[in-house]
Structures are given as C-alpha cells and as structure tokens.
A and B are shown apart, each in its own frame.
Chain A
Amino acid sequence: MIQHLVDGILTGSIISLGAIGLTLIMHMLRFANFSYAELLGIGAYSALVFDRLLAALIPFMHEKIGPLSLTWTLSVSVVLAMVVTGASAVVLDKLVFKRIRENAGPLSMVFASFGVALILRNIITLAFGHRAQLYSPDIAFAIVVSFDPLLLIKPDQVFVLGAALVLMLMLHVVLTRTTFGYSHRAVAENPDLAQVSGVRLSRMVVSVWVLGGGLSAAAGVFYGLTNQISPHLGHNFVLPVFAATIVGGIGSVYGAVLGGFIVGIASGLSLMILPSGYTPAMPFLIIIAVMLLRPHGLFGEELHR
C-alpha cells in the first residue's frame, strides 16, 4: 500500500511536469497536442547523448553525486536537453503547426499532431534502436525506509521529486511575479487584447513551446533516471499527461500539478486491485470519471463547444 503510494507520488511529479507544459500549450494554442509527449522522449534521448559526450570530454565529471546514480555530467545534460527540446518544439511549430494554424481549424491541428508524434517516435527508434537504455549501468540501491510495511526508496527518486518541485516553484514565480509571466497568462486568456496591450503573439508562441519543451525534457530525463528510456517513453506518457490536464482543467497550471499527482497516485494504487497490465488504462478511467463528475476539471473554465 504505502510502497504503491510513494511510487505513485514519484510518477505523479513526473506527470505533473509534463502536464504543466501541455496545459500551457493547449491553453494558448487551443488544440489537443498529441505530439507533445514525444518531447519527453526527445529530452530523455538528447540528455543521453550529451551525457555520453560530456563523459568522453571531461571524464572526471562523470562521477556520481553522493548516493545518487545521477552524475555531474548528466545533471549538466539535463539543462542542455531542456534547451534542445525547447528548440525542437519551436522548430516543429514553424515547420508544421504554425502553417496549419494559419490555414485550417483546430481539428486539423489535432490530426497533424498525431502524425508528428508518429514521425518523431519512429525517428527516435531508428536513431537509438528499440532496446531500452539506462543512463547509468550501475544498479542504484534502494534504501529500506521501513520493513513493516516494507518501503523501499531510491535516492534518485527523492532527488527527482525534489527537482520537479523546484522546477514547479520556479515556474510559479515566473508566472506570478514577472511581466513575462503576466504576458503568458494574458495571451492564454485573450490573444487579441494581449496584442493591443503590446504583447507580440509570435514571441509568446515561441516561448510557450520553449517552456513546454523544457519541462517535458526534464520529465523525460527524470523518468529515465528512475526507470529506463525507450522509444515508447513519449507514447506511454500521452494519456497520463492528458488525463492530468483534464483533471486539473485545461489551462490551469496548478490544476495540472494536482492532476499529475492524482493520476500518478491513482495509477500506483490501482496496482493493488488490478494486474499491472491494466495500468496504461488507468488514466482513461480517470478521464471518464472527470467527464462524468466535473467535465471542466478542478480549476478549469467551462469549455463547452
């Protein structure tokens, strides 16, 4: 019980990070972006590449930090991966989404995002192979927190939870304390008014992709650090991340945080009742429950057609 709960909270923090980026993008660009989760994959794999590169260039930095399996090179790589992923998201927007946005409706955007997701996932497969990989070949030993009930926690998990919370706090400060944050919220609420208030829309679109890409890269690496990375990483997160944004209400950053933890914990606890094969379906059940009980989510505005 307690083990499932703790694992759920950890997964929840990763889903939350991803959901924040998705909810920001969905709120500003008004479409369900099915290619967003592939950015987790791009982030995880670019961190892997940077980590190997840095380890070869500056071997003494390829040292583990304290009890973590995280190395100094990997922690630098996370930041680089966030930048690269943000940039890839901007490039994708320029190549595909911007052009469809200008000529067609939101449904075409949803459709295109599915196509983009399929392309990205399989390019990753071609580049890195089907096989799952690990950042560090060493086994990270879990610490026994308690024997009865049995609770095992890996130091990496504690780090990931902490780092995710720090990122969320940073984003919170940016959104509520800086005019850059105000502009973001302004564009999401009313793009026309934001424009006449001096906000340049094209810049905000770029910045929302950078933010979303950066957050999802962090989520991807954090997942890889506590589990493993495979080309399916993105695909496996599509539904949990959508479920989290729907639970929280599309457009609500705090809703996404809470939604992420709810989805993570519910999926963790479901393991006590259902075989693990059904875990991928959990977010779907949560979405159905939200539709029945509170269609606009915990903090969302009403979004009827």
Chain B
Amino acid sequence: MIGMISYLAFFSTMAAIFAIAVLGLNLHWGYTGLFNGGVVAFFGAGAYGTMILGGRADATVLGGFGLPFLVALAGGVVLAGMLAWIVGLLTVRLRHDYLAISTFGVAIAFESLTRNAEWLTGGARGLRGFPRPFEAAVGNNFVYGLLFLAFVLLVLVLVYIGLERLVRSPFGRALRAIREDETAARSLGKNPTRLRLTSFVIGSMIMGVAGGLYVSFYAFVSPQDLAPILTFQIWAMLIVGGAGNNRGAILGAFLIWAAWTASGFLLARHAPVAMQIYTGSIQYILIGSVIVGMLLWRPQGLLPERLETSAGPDRTRPAGTNTTATTNKGVT
C-alpha cells in the first residue's frame, strides 16, 4: 500500500515537474507562436544552474557552493532566462525558422558543454549530491516524498495562476494580437520584437524552474537526463493537451508521462530479450507518432484554446495556424 502510494507520489512529482515545463512551452508556442526547438537546453540550464549553486562541494568541479535551496533555484532560473535572452535577441526579429534552428542549436551546444566541460558540469558522469530541501526536518523518506510532491504541486499552481493572469493581461492580449496579425498589431503601436522576446524569456525561465525542481528531486544530473528526447516529450505533452490552453498543458503532461512510463514498463516486461536494447527506439517512435498524428488529426489538442474575444466563447483555433509571417507566401 505504502509502496503504491509512494510510487504514485513519485510519478506525480515527475509529471508535475514536466507540467511546469509544458506551461513554459505553452507561453512560447501556444500564446506567442514561437517555436522552441531546444526546450531541453532551458530545462537543463535551470537544472545545472541550480545544481552548481546549491549542490554539495566537490573538489573535482567548480560548483557545489551549497547555497540555500531557493537561492540556488533562483540562480538556475536566471541562467535559463539569460540563455533565452541571448538567443532571442538575435533571432526573434527574423523569420520564425531562425528561432527554431537557433534553439535547436542551443540544445546541441548545451549538450556538448555538459558532456565536455568536466570542471563545471562533471562531464558524462554528471553532478551529484544536492541537499534536498527540508529533508533534514522530515527524516522519513515516505513522508518526504509526499511533502516534496506537495511543494512541486504548489509551484505548479503558482506558475499556472501567474500565467493565466499574464495571458489575460494587456500583455497577453498583445501577444495574441501579434500572433494573429503582426501588421495590425504593429499599427496599434505594439512592438512585436520586444513582446516576443519577453515572452520567450519568461517561458524559458519557467522551463528553468522545472529543471531546478528536477535536480532537487533527484539530487543528481547528467547529460543522460537531458537527452534530446526530453524536448520531444514536452512538445508531445503540449500538443496532446492543447496549445494555448494552460489546463490542457497540465493534462497533457500527466497523460504523456503516464503513457511513457506505462509503455516503458510494458516493453521491459514483455519485449523479447533480444529487443530490450531497442525499447527506447520504440518509445521514441511512439512519441514522434503522437506529435505527427496530433498535428494531422487534432491540432487543437484535447482541450482547445478558448478565445474569449468578440467572436464568442465557443470559437476554437487549431494550434499553429497563425499567419504572422508576412514573407511566408510559399506553396500551399
């Protein structure tokens, strides 16, 4: 019984951490129409940043400053935000492709850094040893798991409320305006480049929060945790839940994480021994198929975006059908 609850707590903690990252991505893709091809880099910046600042001292690496948990987490989030600011500054004014390519590039560059800069990131073996917040006060592992889950859920709720307020504020309306019709928004005095950049940085910082929570949960991080598949998982969560709908984003995170763990479990249990080293590939194909299938058949996701505009509350909009780019009169 306790095993069951403790597994459920573990599962929910992971799902909630991913849900936070999905909320960040939703601000990018769902509300602003920005394509982030390197979610893992911003998640990773939060993770490594938090670990380096808050981790236990280790003679072989530069980090391990052992700063208080919240300070370390804030540092990780700022790092993710700075990374986004640099990339965004160079690309958000250009055609949408450039952001997609650059963010994909950031993820690759980030991976090279984590694998090679041993003095900073511990290289392939990663960084371990993070004083888990409030652990000393609790002692009991089972209770601690539940407490940590409660803490992650609290952060999730805070991020959710914050984002809901943000997208309903004039700032959020301006974001949707530039997503739908950039020329019109510009003529109303909106500055699309600055709005996009702000949204890109905020969304990436939210991904950084998720990364920071991830390392404090595992007390360990290595390049293995930040494989490119993480980006795909978070995308799949958003597209399944419904881009432009924060509740959908959270629903998608739980659904996809459940499907991922269940498929991993089933494959480990029932796949022939010879196939065991290929279970990852099968799971990757499933994730890819979910993404392509949703885009083909239900691009609005399970919970579509609600547009509370003059068009009435029932109108929905399939994700990514925005026609922002004026230069895109390609073949249709």
Contact = CB atoms under 8 A, between A and B. Distances in A.
Chain A–chain B contact at Cβ < 8 A: yes
Interface of A: 26, 28-32, 34, 96, 99-108, 110-112, 114-119, 121-123, 125-126, 130, 187, 191-192, 201, 204-205, 238-239, 242-243, 246, 250, 275, 277-281, 283-285, 287-288, 291-292, 295, 303-305
Q: Considering the complex of A and B, which 7 residue pairs feature the smallest CB-CB distances, nearest first?
A: A30-B330, A284-B105, A115-B291, A118-B288, A277-B116, A119-B288, A32-B97
Given A100-B295, A107-B96, 13 more contacts: A30-B329, A34-B100, A103-B299, A106-B325, A122-B285, A125-B278, A125-B281, A281-B108, A281-B113, A284-B105, A288-B90, A295-B98, A305-B95
A122 B108 contact: no
B72 to A, nearest CB: 26
B306 interface: no
B318 interface: yes
A210 to B, nearest CB: 15
Secondary structure at the B interface, as helix, strand, loop or mixed, is helix
B102 interface: yes
A100 B113 CA distance: 36
A218 to B, nearest CB: 23
A117 B278 CA distance: 17
B192 to A, nearest CB: 7
Interface of B: 29, 33, 35, 37, 90-91, 93-98, 100-102, 104-106, 108-109, 111-113, 115-116, 182, 192, 229, 232, 235, 239, 277-278, 281-282, 284-285, 287-292, 295-296, 299, 318-332
Given A100-B296, A107-B322, A288-B90, A305 B96 contact: yes
A34 B37 contact: yes
B100 A284 contact: no
Contacts, number: 184
A28 B192 CA distance: 26
Contacts of B113: 278, 281
A115 B318 contact: no
A239 B105 contact: yes
Nearest to A235: B228
Nearest to B285: A122
Nearest to B105: A284
Contacts of B322: 105, 107
Nearest to B34: A107
Contacts of A281: 105, 108-109, 112-113
B295 A115 contact: yes
23 contacts: A28-B331, A30-B328, A30-B329, A31-B97, A34-B37, A96-B296, A104-B295, A105-B320, A108-B321, A111-B239, A112-B296, A115-B288, A115-B289, A118-B291, A191-B331, A277-B112, A281-B112, A291-B91, A295-B94, A295-B98, A304-B93, A304-B95, A305-B182
What is the predominant secondary structure among interface residues of chain A facing chain B? helix
Contact of B291 (A112, A126, A288, A304): A112
A119 B90 contact: no
Contact of B100 (A99, A110, A275, A305): A110
Nearest to A291: B90
Contacts of A32: 97, 100-101
A125 B283 CA distance: 12
Given A30-B331, A187-B331, A108 B299 contact: yes
A118 B284 contact: yes
A279 B115 CA distance: 12
Contacts of B101: 32, 242, 246, 287
Contacts of A204: 331
Contact of A303 (B95, B182, B291, B324): B95
Nearest to A278: B112
B281 A108 contact: no
A130 B277 contact: yes
A305 B116 contact: no
Contacts of B100: 32, 34, 110
Contact of A280 (B108, B229, B327): B108
B321 A126 contact: no
Contacts of A30: 328-331
A108 B320 contact: yes
Given A110-B97, A115-B295, A278-B112, A305 B192 contact: yes
Contact of A305 (B282, B318, B324): B324
